[in-house]
Amino acid sequence: MTPAIAATGVVKSFGSVRSVSGLDLAVPAGSFFGIAGPNGAGKTTFIRMIAGLLRPDAGSIAVAGEQVWPNPRRAKELLGYVADNPPLFGRLSAREMLDYSGMLRGLPAAEIRSRGDDLLRVLDLEEDAARPIADFSLGMTKRIGLAVAMLHNPRVLILDEPFGALDPVNTQVMEQMLQKYRRAGGTVVFSSHVLDVVERLCDRVAIIAGGALVAEGAVAELAHGESLQDAFIDIVGGRELAEGDLSWLSSSPA
């Protein structure tokens, strides 16, 4: 089966800083796939290259068999992308943002309205549908960002820190939405620092450090009977406070 995402030898530098260094990764179609790594590991840079927002310096990336570069248009038709802080048009209302996105995707007006109604209802945004997005909290912005990404029913969903800033109720709803999407044949790829969420939701996980893939496999295989967080620290290396660090901290009054 053609992988949902296939990356080969992907390299990206910013000046003298190598952010992604020869990364190879294949994401199985129909999987719930996690990408984890320390801060600055290159996860977001890699995701933005998959989404067609950054061009790699070397290597290739394909989404459902369609090469993202040099012409990302066809690949973008097959995927939905939600950034950590979605860059939406703040002066548009939630409803207008969905209408605009649907028109860009070439969806019929009736279908845009029907799907938009469903998404606004499920994501608890019906009462806020006429408000400008600039007035939304970050959690609300993430929810409308997910609605925009799912409106055209893509084959692959790419989410960067999707559950940050969400309350437990909306986190549960989003997880249920993503599981339903996956059961219908979609592929979910998401990056997160919250490893218990990755462990609970994902079939497989890739760990990136220093811009390179350092481990990839089924969650249970990587964990080896530990929590995924403990396994992650074993793989990338951890840090602990030394005995004398912050010795000035005290609960006693000065």
The residues, ordered by sequence, that sit 6+ positions from 142 with a Cβ below 8 Å of its Cβ are 82, 86, 162, 164, 165, 166
- Around Cβ 198, how many Cβ atoms within 10 Å? 23
Average pLDDT of the residues in 130-156: 95
Handedness of CA 4, 178, 79, 90 (dihedral sign): negative
* Residue (of 135, 123, 186) closest to 157 by Cα position: 186
Question: How do strand 5-14 and strand 204-209 relate by DSSP bridges?
Answer: unpaired
Question: Tokens 């248009």 label which residue?
Answer: 73
pLDDT tens per residue, range 163-220: 877 888 988 999 999 999 999 999 999 998 888 888 889 999 999 999 999 999 999 8
| pLDDT for position 251 | 66
Q: For residue 160, give the amino acid letter.
A: D
Residue 37 to residue 43: CA distance in whole angstroms: 7
Question: How do strand 58-63 and strand 66-67 relate by DSSP bridges?
Answer: antiparallel
Residue 66 to residue 80: CA distance in whole angstroms: 14
pLDDT tens per residue, range 214-248: 999 999 898 888 889 888 888 888 888 888 888 88
| pLDDT for position 252 | 66
Average pLDDT of the residues in 75-88: 91
- Mean pLDDT computed over every residue of the chain: 92
Residue 24 to residue 125: CA distance in whole angstroms: 39
- Rounded to a whole number of angstroms, the CA Rg of the chain reads 20
At residue 150 the predicted structure's pLDDT band, cuts being 50, 70 and 90, is: very high
% residues pLDDT > 90 (the chain): 69
pLDDT at residue 130 above 90?
yes
pTM score, two decimals?
0.89
Q: Return the minimum-mean-pLDDT range out of 95-99, 119-123, 194-198.
A: 194-198
- Around Cβ 121, how many Cβ atoms within 10 Å? 11
| pLDDT for position 241 | 83
28-40+163-239: CATH, from 3.40.50.1970, 3.30.70.890, 3.20.20.140, 3.40.50.300: 3.40.50.300
- Sorted by where each begins, the domain ranges of the chain are 28-40+163-239, 79-153
| pLDDT for position 254 | 58
